[in-house]
Amino acid sequence: MSEQEGAFYTGVYRNLFKELGKSDEEIEQRIQECWEQLFNGDEDTRIYYPVGEDLGYILDTGNLDVRTEGMSYGMMMAVQMDNKDVFDRLWNWTMKYMYMTTGENAGYFAWSCNPDGTKRAFGPAPDGEEFFAMALFFASHRWGDGLEPYNYSVQAKDLLRTCLHKGEDGVGYPMWNPENKLIKFVPNCEFSDPSYHLPHFYELFALWAYEEDRQFWKEASTASREYLKISCHPETGLAPEYAYYDGTPNNEKGYGHFYSDAYRVAGNIGLDYEWFRGDEWERAESAKLQAFFAEKDPADYRRYTISGEPLEEKSLHPVGLLATNAMATLASDGPDSKSSVELFWNTPVRTGVRRYYDNCLYFFSLLALSGTYRIWMPEV
């Protein structure tokens, strides 16, 4: 396939559920029901909590904190669903409580806060920053810019500039390594997390960031695609949670296995292929992942070495795992693709204490597989 077949070029998004035989009405109902469960549901399903007149947060129900991961995810969900009220509430909460104005991390967001807004940590997590930036660009293009802090495109460009140039004055660290163009796990370390790599976002940053940074983002998209090739196992397709810049697992603290963070890699690869036809390698990679899990019962998903050896510890987020495996079908037409999508369609959202992470991945997969995880372009 040529790169020109990606949705960025054609405006056409694949709908895997229709390919299963589901009707437009069934699909739309499923999306709306899922949104209602996560954003307006009861205490066994909801992850979003409005506060006062203009604030709201996404709760990590397993850890009882508010994370930049969840807040940025919620903003992306809201802009895709055309819900400006939820988007602005989340952004207001993020700016009020998470944004740091002093210290070496000034200009970044504190990755973890309590629900009352007090900070649990004063360090940032780059996966939050990159999702904030992308959601803000989409909001600008879908709804238009307003007065600060609703000047979404400026907020996105300023944030990306901080991510790249932080530390040039001797204070703090950038979120991307300036030499190899790879995203770091946290700014003051020199290793990565494969699930942070979003080349499909960087392609768009290369169009919309401040002009002086655009070449970096174009190179970063290429660097991330190449990094995924060396960090995913050549036979199983499994990626570690943390990996060194040469792609080898970083298991210093037990994060060199296929576990929670790493589940996102499958979905990211699927979306990169859907939007940009990023690399033909993504098709084979997605098929390998789906083949690895094809005969496994989600109730018995485990922590695995990236070579595929099952460890004793059960998966903490099995619904999230099967959801992202299904999302990989955007890049795969392997023998296990249809069954991966069917398994996802037949699996309800997770309820209970650990629902937050699973259902974030679930909702993104629902959007992507229905062709409604869209690139929102600026009006011309």
Q: At what angle do helices 264-276 and 281-293 cross, to 10 degrees?
A: 140
Q: Residue range 33-50: average pLDDT?
A: 98
Read off the pLDDT of residues 130-169 as tens digits, 9 standing for 90 and up: 999 999 999 999 999 999 999 999 999 999 999 999 999 9
CATH domain 1-46+231-375 topology: Glycosyltransferase (1.50.10)
Phi and psi for 55 in degrees, rounded to 5? -125, 160
Catalytic one among 69, 203, 274, 285?
A: 69
Cα 330 from Cα 273, distance rounded (Å): 7
Which pLDDT does position 2 carry in this prediction?
A: 41
**Share of residues in the chain with pLDDT > 70 (%):** 99
Angle at 166 between CA 245 and CA 103, to 5 degrees: 115
Average pLDDT of the chain, as a whole number: 97
Catalytic member of 193, 261, 272, 336? 261
pTM for this entry: 0.98
Please give the full DSSP string across 273-316, using - where no structure is assigned: HHHH---THHHHHHHHHHHHHTT--GGG-EEE-TT-PEEEEEPS
The pLDDT tens digits of the residues spanning 56-77 come to 999 999 999 999 999 999 999 9
Residue 44: which of 338, 359, 267, 306 has the closest Cα?
359
Q: Which of 154, 188, 177 is nearest to 223 (CA)?
A: 177
Give residue 104's pLDDT. 95
User: Is residue 33 among the annotated active site residues?
Assistant: no
261 is annotated as an active-site residue: yes
Delimit the domains of the chain by residue range: 1-46+231-375
The reported pLDDT for the residue numbered 333 is 86
